[in-house]
A and B are shown apart, each in its own frame.
Chain A
Amino acid sequence: MANKIFVYIDHFNGQALPASWEAVGVARTLADHFSSVVTAVVLGYEVEGLANLSIEYGADRVLMGDDPELKDYRPEPFAEMVSQLTTEAEILVLPTTSRTRELAGMVAVDLETGMAPDVITFEIDGDAVLATRPIYAGKLLTKVVCREKRPQIITLRTRAFPKPEPDSGRSGEVIRVEVVMGEVVTEVTGYTESEAGVSLADAAIIVSGGRGVSSNPKLTPPDEITDEKEQEMWRAQQGFALVRQLAETLGAAMGASRAAVDAGYIPYPHQVGQTGKVVSPDLYVACGISGAIQHLAGMRTSKVIVAINKDSEAPIFKLARFGVAGDLFDIVPAFTRALKERLGK
């Protein structure tokens, strides 16, 4: 397998997602196994920096499509380019992001081949990649394999594979490819800022709040708030302020349960779980979250889970490594103070 291992570099405005480098690391492992080389595919506008970084992270050559037409990601032209560039590939590795899931699926249609998203581990069987991916929200795992069709396409779950150390001494070749694509009928008319602030998928630490965050009986809303729903929202704001301070102290992203999202305490992009984001941080702190099966589906692969819940029987404790059975309104601020002291902040 000469030139047969390809990796796609996903980025937003020229900023690679960390998961892209994890994908380069996996491509490197595969190329070393098959005595092949890693070819990175970089598409966008003014992406030469990314092409060079791809080499630092482990690519041997980079096919770079650099064109104003590719400034905004749109699935059709990107799929067309990737399909053109990877027809000869044996294996195409991508990170799993909000862009690449569809991109990989569309390339699989173009090249009439198989595609496995959200791969968490794999083994090599002859020249086939036997990939493992979660199904039923992680309640089960399945091995999937594409025996005959090529390329085999896998997208890797974020943080399931280590990010390689960049090496500025590595050398490789950047090849500019001609950008030829059919008429593009869609038009990107703008962007609005992320509601989530920090990307949950990439976060090493996540602090999440649930319904319990709105239920501090010791807090009395100001007299002018008489509506019951508004009182609840006021309580939730006070509670989430404490959770946010803890998150800031830990440099963590903010997550939430669906109950908290549905009640309007915090916007949907923060939701963790089966119908929210699936995350796998090093540390997950659950505050006032009971641990319903649909919530666990989104965070069960976290390395260390800390649960703070006043109900010592809450199911979240079954998954937690450390637990505090207590009132989050006392524990969370005290924990923030203790961390500030210990971490010298």
Chain B
Amino acid sequence: MNIVVCVKQTPDTAATVTVEDGIVSWGDSPLVLNPWDEYAVEEALRIREAHSGQVTALSLGPEAAMEALKLALAMGCDQAILINDPGLTDADPLVVSQILAAGINKIGEVDLVLFGRGSVDNDTGITGPQVARRLNWPVLSLVAAITSLDPEGRTIAVERMLDEGRQLVRSPLPAAVSVVKGINEPRYPSFMGIRKASRAEIPVWSTSDVGLDEAPTPAMTWPEVFAPPKVETECEMIEGETSEEVATRLADRLIEEKVI
């Protein structure tokens, strides 16, 4: 199995994110491998362990995103590739999907591409489906379990987590899959893995390297980024002599305020 896993570097979920003059910052909080993508990397490694093959971590991002790729390598990916181009600073999902699809085509002979369910910064959750559409491959998104995978028969069967329950789907390979939490428990990088990753040479591809003459033009722009208005909630603490009294008061206040 030749597997590509698309990963992104994001701020830590515990970071306090602020914006000033349109510039977003997260203080000295670390940048991490997008938490959702850890599940995708883990799943790729498990598939390789079961069926042999190789796993390539692919990221589009700034030079700093090397760190996220190194983490993917330390977890056990065989190789990593960074796509970086000054023309891509304003990339919207449409552009990102085009570049990633071109990168996957350049890697060539790929059987399966894995994605996280979303990135914790943009949180659009559409990169996987958009890349699949560009590759003209079936997409299986929100996958909570891969129930069977047959590299020779070229099929995959999965359980997708819809709002109403799980949908069981079978698809031919190649296919694109986005995974949700619960599909696995991501491993920690091993000491050997970390050492190997720190020495790894990560190739950097430009847009022309992936076969595009110039960076595609985004369809979307972001005229404004701002902090949500502060909701002034003064917490009204409900007190009383006994639990019964507190509970009754709480119920009464909710009824008075027409909450229930």
Instruction: Decide: A195 and B134 in contact? CB cutoff 8 A.
Output: no
Instruction: Decide: A321 and B235 in contact? CB cutoff 8 A.
Output: yes
B89 contacts partner chain A, Cβ-Cβ < 8 Å: no
- Chain A residue numbers with a CB within 8 Å of B244 are 334, 337-338
Contacts A141-B225, A205-B260 given: A193-B165 contact, CB under 8 Å? yes
Give chain B nearest CB distance to A339 CB in angstroms. Answer: 5
Instruction: Decide: A105 and B129 in contact? CB cutoff 8 A.
Output: yes
Instruction: Decide: A135 and B125 in contact? CB cutoff 8 A.
Output: no
Instruction: Decide: A136 and B223 in contact? CB cutoff 8 A.
Output: no
Closest to A150 in B: B219
Q: Which B residues from 141 to 192 make CB contacts under 8 A with A?
A: 141-142, 157, 159, 161-172, 180-182
Instruction: Decide: A191 and B138 in contact? CB cutoff 8 A.
Output: no
- Chain B residue numbers with a CB within 8 Å of A117 are 124-126
Q: How many A-B contacts at CB < 8 Å in the complex?
A: 252
Distance, CA A331 to CA B249, complexed state (A): 11
Instruction: Decide: B11 and A136 in contact? CB cutoff 8 A.
Output: yes
Closest to A303 in B: B259
Interface bits B45-59 vs A (CB < 8 Å: 1, else 0) = 000000000000000
Of the listed stretches A29-37, A71-79, A165-173, A237-245, name the one at the interface; the rest are far from the partner chain. Answer: A71-79
Contacts A304-B257, A317-B235 given: A334-B157 contact, CB under 8 Å? no
Distance, CA A98 to CA B257, complexed state (A): 34
Distance, CA A250 to CA B140, complexed state (A): 36
A174 contacts partner chain B, Cβ-Cβ < 8 Å: no
Mostly, the A contact residues are mixed
Distance, CA A52 to CA B244, complexed state (A): 50
Q: How large is the interface on B (under 10, 10 to 19, 20 to 34, 35 or more residues)?
A: 35 or more
- Chain A residue numbers with a CB within 8 Å of B16 are 139
- Chain B residue numbers with a CB within 8 Å of A320 are 233, 235
B200 contacts partner chain A, Cβ-Cβ < 8 Å: no
Give chain B nearest CB distance to A65 CB in angstroms. Answer: 19
Instruction: Decide: B223 and A130 in contact? CB cutoff 8 A.
Output: yes
Name which of B140, B142, B167, B221 has the most chain A CB atoms within 10 A of its CB. Answer: B167
Among A106, A186, A322, which residue has its beta carbon within 8 angstroms of that of B170?
A186
- Chain A residue numbers with a CB within 8 Å of B181 are 268, 271, 275-276
Q: Identify the A interface with B (CB < 8 A).
A: 12, 17, 72-76, 79, 97-99, 101-106, 108-110, 112-118, 130, 134-149, 185-195, 199, 201, 205, 250, 268-269, 271, 274-276, 282-283, 292-294, 297, 303-307, 312, 317-327, 330-331, 334-335, 337-339, 342-343
Q: Identify the B interface with A (CB < 8 A).
A: 11, 13-14, 16-17, 19, 24, 35-36, 92-94, 97, 120-130, 132-134, 138-142, 157, 159, 161-172, 180-182, 218-228, 231, 233, 235-238, 243-244, 246-248, 250-255, 257, 259-260
- New A-B contacts (7) at CB < 8 Å, excluding given A201-B163, A334-B243: A75-B138, A118-B123, A134-B228, A145-B220, A268-B182, A318-B235, A331-B247
Q: Return 15 A-B CB contacts under 8 Å, by A number.
A: A105-B93, A109-B97, A113-B94, A114-B94, A114-B220, A136-B17, A141-B228, A142-B225, A185-B171, A304-B257, A318-B233, A322-B254, A331-B246, A331-B247, A335-B251
